[in-house]
């Protein structure tokens, strides 16, 4: 009988140990699930923050690019306007120089003969006295 009781006690201890192990496993599994849930929540938060940072960086880069593009366009327009004004001024100077050269040739041609000179002086004198 002692052996049966001993065996019974051994089986009870083994069942108790198995029950404790099962309870411990359940606790560990609960802890693991809780830790996993927390890790997923943290991952989701990190991903959300990363997406927000990405969006901010992209928006910042777009704004900066637009600002730089506008600045480059303004500078190009100013340069074009300055070059246009310089070209117009140069063209006016060339036209004026050409007009003077043509006038000189016309006057030389008109005054090359004495008769023409005399008629011109007479005409100018009449204009002066009439005024």
DSSP 113: S
Contacts of 116 (CB under 8 A, 6+ apart): 110
Report yes or no: 120 and 110 within 8 Å, Cβ to Cβ.
yes
Q: What is the reported pTM? A: 0.50
Give the Cα separation of 55 and 65 in Å (integer): 15
> Along the 131 residues of the chain, how does pLDDT read in single tens digits?
677 778 788 888 888 888 888 888 888 898 899 999 999 999 999 999 999 999 999 999 999 999 999 999 999 999 999 999 999 999 999 999 998 988 888 877 777 777 777 777 778 778 776 54
Give the Cα separation of 24 and 116 in Å (integer): 132
């Amino acid at each position: 009988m002692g052996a049966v009781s001993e065996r019974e006690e051994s089986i009870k201890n083994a069942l108790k140990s198995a029950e404790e192990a099962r309870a411990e496993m359940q606790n560990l599994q609960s802890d693991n699930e809780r830790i996993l849930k927390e890790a997923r929540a943290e991952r989701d938060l990190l991903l959300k923050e990363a997406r927000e940072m990405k969006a901010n960086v992209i928006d910042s880069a777009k704004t900066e690019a637009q600002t730089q593009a506008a600045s480059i366009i303004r500078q190009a327009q100013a340069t074009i306007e300055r070059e246009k004004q310089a070209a117009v001024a140069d063209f006016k100077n060339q036209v004026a120089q050409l007009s003077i050269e043509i006038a000189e040739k016309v006057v030389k041609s008109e005054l090359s003969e004495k008769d023409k000179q005399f008629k011109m002086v007479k005409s100018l004198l009449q204009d002066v006295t009439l005024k």
